[in-house]
């Protein structure tokens, strides 16, 4: 990269860092550090969450998936369009979770189930999350070394040190500094500002790709595939492994099942100024990633075209040469996995011009830092809030609690550095995430859904659901990681009959099931992480329901947990609506558009726009399926045209509009947020503790809660 590219990278990073440093002066209580003071508006939530959830690791993972399996598979995400619409407009899980006022998911678990379950759930989520996150620094550092063209080794005081390790350490230190400055408050502000900067960066990269590559070149490259492995025709993918139809369908089901379960960005779920703003942030989330996803899709298409179209044949050798020189790891399986990951980034570097190379690099570093800060904060605070403090049993002073949180965050960073430095990755990023995440996610979804919506859900059912999921997922993770060595060699040498039976059984099942393709090989376990994940969700849900029905003796008081009716708080920015004014569920606006008594005219316009846009996309999706299956088969050129219109032209139009819209809304919301921080009163009891299934802070504000706890004195201490 040229000095111009490096300058483009350094200046915006310095600006965001300065803003983060200025923000930390507003941190005055534990709730500010853990939940950003609960003062964020919908645009801050939408933009910051998009930046934190995407992350550099997700970009590389999507490159990996699209390059291998193309865009035919992603066509089926059209089903998610209507499902996500329902989730956004109804406030499914999001609204009720914010009503609990819990700052971590396991705090909600103590309110709903028990303290022992909170500790177990917190520990399980922490183990799963830390392992899941610990791969991120390695992928980010490897991207920086490969894309930045840095030497594999540098000499320091006569010692040859891997550049990969130095980059990891540097960026982890930077992320830790941001988190320690002000916790969720600085994370939320820096992520939002970085997201606003990135909108312009994404637009520059998109415009450059459309200028460098013609659609005819892209189409020729994408269509040159053998039968059963199409990159564009969703009905011609029978021979695709790993990223296939089953992968997509499990992902859709998991998105609904595990909404809010994954806690890598858990603090954002409690950061909005009110449950209504939290819900509206989710509504806006339908559009928040428009330009970034378009950039990812176009870069993947451009890289595939660059590597496979005859017009660029003379330049492909340079990409392969750089891959060979940059990737030199300990095992053959690991080396091939990393080469597949870095292929698209290195190809992108070869065809982007000066200036745009740095623009894309800066956007990716923003994403890398945003994920590091959000995940370090989440896993560090979860360990303290949901494991250490419940075990300790006594309240700490705010100063003690803050220092404990900071120590835990630093410990997560140290573990991630060591893990990333030595872990041999043998599977795709998304498959690794599915495997490591399912240790927690396999059972978490049903525990949350049942806890928020089902009065008969019990602590025993919650234990059964989580233990079932964790056991299956851990076994799957171990088999996948150690299949190539020592499991497969051992079976080959000592139990060939068992291996033969296993191979024939899987191949027979694969032939019988329309969405999977199983073949036993020596290099990797044939059942993917996504398939193991699906099995854990299914069995965990059954365990929760059966055990809850068996053990339930008394229905749970959901109204108290959700602060409804006589338990409603006066300071939660939720209007006190008389029960006579609450309209029945039969109201079609309430059902289809999510309208309630808190909706302003602007809220209604936003909801109608989201509903109309999503339903239009879903109508086109269904119409194309009907046309192709019942009227006339679309030709390869027809599928290419569909992809061009829906995935590029429409995405470009939406991305341009939302980039301007969210930039204006984000700036306004940031100003409002800082005003709230300067004038709000903090409650020192708002620290994540639970007393008798009630948040400790509620004992100062809810007369109804005090009536339920007559022996509990009402503290008056404020700060």
* pLDDT (mean) for 359-373: 90
Number of H helices, E strands in the chain: 30, 4
Tell me the pLDDT band of 715, cut-offs 50, 70 and 90: very low
Which residue would you say has higher pLDDT here, 351 or 238? Answer: 351
What mean pLDDT do residues 169-175 have? 91
Residue recorded with tokens 């990755």: 425
Residue pLDDT, tens place only, 534-585: 889 999 999 999 999 999 998 898 888 888 888 887 655 555 444 334 344 4
Q: Is residue 608 classed exposed, middle or buried when 0-12, 13-18 and 19+ CB atoms within 10 A define those classes?
A: middle
pLDDT (0 to 100) of residue 592: 61
pLDDT at 688: 60
Q: Quick one: pLDDT band at residue 684, thresholds 50, 70, 90?
A: low
How does residue 410 score in pLDDT terms, banded at 50, 70 and 90? Answer: very high
Burial (CB < 10 A; 0-12, 13-18, 19+), residue 661, is middle
HSE of 199 in the Cβ direction (CA atoms, 13 Å)?
Answer: 24
Of residues 295 and 73, which shows the higher confidence score?
A: 295
Per-residue pLDDT tens over the stretch 510-542: 666 666 667 777 777 777 777 888 889 999 999
Alpha carbons 260 and 123: distance in angstroms, whole number: 17
Q: In 3D, which of 454, 613, 626, 622 has the Cα closest to residue 541?
A: 454
Helix axes 184-212, 356-383, angle to 10 degrees: 150
Across 175-179, 410-414, 437-441, least confident range: 437-441
Find the Cα–Cα–Cα–Cα dihedral 231, 235, 236, 242, rounded to 10°: 70
Mean pLDDT of the chain: 81
Report yes or no: 44 and 669 within 8 Å, Cβ to Cβ.
Answer: yes
CB 533 within 8 A of CB 254: yes
Q: Which of 373, 374, 381, 430 lies closest to 401 in space, CA to CA?
A: 381
Q: 503, exposed or middle or buried, with CB in 10 Å at 0-12, 13-18, 19+?
A: middle
- Tens digit of pLDDT for each residue in 4-21? 888 888 888 888 888 888
Q: How confident is the model at residue 641 (pLDDT cuts 50, 70, 90)?
A: very high
Nearest to 7 by CA among 353, 348, 358: 358
Which residues, listed in sequence order, are joined to residue 694 by a DSSP beta bridge?
691
Domain residue spans of the chain: 3-426+552-574+635-680, 578-631
Compare 706 and 595 and report the one with higher pLDDT. 595
pLDDT of residue 578: 42
Name the CATH topology of 3-426+552-574+635-680: Sodium/glucose cotransporter (1.20.1730)
Q: Which segments of 571-614 are extended strands (E)? A: none
Percent of the chain with pLDDT over 90: 18
């Amino acid at each position: 990269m040229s000095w111009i590219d490096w300058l483009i990278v350094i200046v915006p990073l310095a600006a965001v860092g300065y803003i983060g440093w200025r923000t930390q002066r507003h941190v005055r209580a534990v709730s500010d550090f853990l939940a950003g003071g609960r003062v964020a508006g919908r645009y801050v939530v939408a933009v910051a969450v998009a930046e934190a959830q995407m992350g550099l690791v997700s970009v590389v993972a999507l490159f990996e998936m699209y390059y291998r399996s193309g865009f035919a598979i992603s066509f089926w995400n059209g089903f998610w369009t209507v499902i996500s619409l329902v989730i956004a407009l109804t406030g499914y899980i999001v609204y009720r979770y914010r009503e609990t006022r819990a700052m971590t998911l396991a705090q909600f678990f103590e309110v709903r189930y028990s303290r022992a379950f909170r500790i177990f759930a917190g520990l399980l989520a922490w183990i799963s999350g830390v392992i899941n996150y610990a791969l991120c620094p390695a992928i980010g550092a490897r991207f920086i070394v490969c894309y930045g063209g840095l030497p594999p080794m540098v000499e320091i005081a006569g010692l040859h040190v891997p550049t990969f390790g130095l980059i990891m350490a540097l960026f982890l230190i930077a992320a830790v500094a941001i988190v320690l400055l002000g916790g969720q408050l600085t994370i939320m502000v820096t992520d939002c500002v970085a997201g606003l900067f990135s909108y312009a960066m994404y637009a520059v990269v998109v415009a450059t790709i459309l200028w460098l590559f013609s659609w005819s070149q892209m189409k020729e490259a994408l269509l040159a595939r053998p039968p059963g492995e199409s990159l564009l025709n969703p009905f011609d993918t029978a021979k695709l492994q790993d990223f296939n139809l089953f992968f997509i369908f499990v992902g859709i089901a998991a998105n609904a099942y595990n909404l809010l379960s994954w806690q890598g960005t858990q603090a954002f779920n409690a950061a909005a100024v009110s449950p209504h703003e939290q819900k509206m942030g989710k509504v806006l989330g339908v559009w928040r990633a428009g330009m970034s996803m378009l950039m990812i899709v176009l870069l993947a298409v451009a890289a595939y075209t660059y590597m496979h179209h005859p017009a660029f044949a003379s330049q492909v050798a340079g990409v392969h040469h750089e891959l060979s020189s940059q990737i030199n790891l300990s095992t053959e399986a690991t080396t091939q996995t990393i080469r597949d990951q870095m292929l698209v980034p290195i190809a992108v570097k070869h065809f982007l011009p000066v200036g745009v190379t740095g623009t894309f690099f800066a956007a990716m570093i923003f994403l890398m830092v945003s994920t590091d800060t959000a995940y370090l904060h989440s896993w560090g605070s979860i360990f303290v809030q949901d494991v250490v403090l419940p075990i300790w049993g006594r309240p700490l002073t705010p100063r003690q609690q803050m220092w404990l949180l900071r120590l835990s965050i630093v410990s997560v960073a140290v573990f991630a550095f060591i893990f990333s430095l030595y872990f041999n990755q043998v599977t795709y990023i998304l498959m690794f995430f599915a495997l490591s995440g399912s240790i927690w996610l396999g059972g978490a979804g049903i525990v949350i859904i049942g806890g928020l919506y089902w009065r008969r859900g019990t602590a025993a059912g919650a234990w059964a659901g989580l233990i079932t999921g964790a056991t299956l997922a851990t076994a799957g993770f171990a088999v996948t990681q150690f299949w190539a060595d020592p499991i497969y060699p051992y079976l080959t040498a000592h139990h060939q009959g068992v291996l033969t039976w296993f191979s024939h059984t899987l191949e027979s099942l694969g032939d019988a099931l329309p969405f999977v393709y199983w073949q036993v090989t020596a290099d990797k376990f044939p059942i993917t992480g996504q398939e193991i994940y699906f099995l854990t969700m299914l069995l965990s849900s059954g365990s929760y329901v059966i055990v809850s029905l068996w053990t339930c003796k008394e229905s749970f008081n959901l109204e108290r947990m959700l602060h409804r009716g006589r338990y409603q708080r006066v300071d939660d920015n939720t209007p006190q609506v008389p029960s006579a004014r609450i309209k029945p569920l039969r109201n079609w606006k309430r059902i289809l558009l999510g309208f309630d008594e808190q909706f302003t005219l602007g809220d209604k316009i936003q909801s109608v726009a989201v509903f109309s846009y999503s339903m239009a996309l879903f109508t086109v999706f269904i119409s194309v399926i009907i046309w192709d299956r019942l009227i006339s088969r679309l030709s390869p050129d027809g599928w290419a045209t569909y992809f061009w219109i829906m995935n590029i032209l429409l995405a470009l139009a939406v991305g341009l509009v939302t980039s301007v819209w969210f930039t204006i809304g984000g700036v306004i919301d940031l100003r409002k947020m800082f005003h709230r921080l300067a004038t709000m009163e903090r409650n020192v009891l708002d620290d994540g503790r639970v007393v008798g299934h009630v948040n400790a802070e509620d004992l100062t504000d809810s007369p109804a809660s005090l009536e339920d706890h007559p022996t509990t004195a009402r503290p008056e201490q404020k700060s």
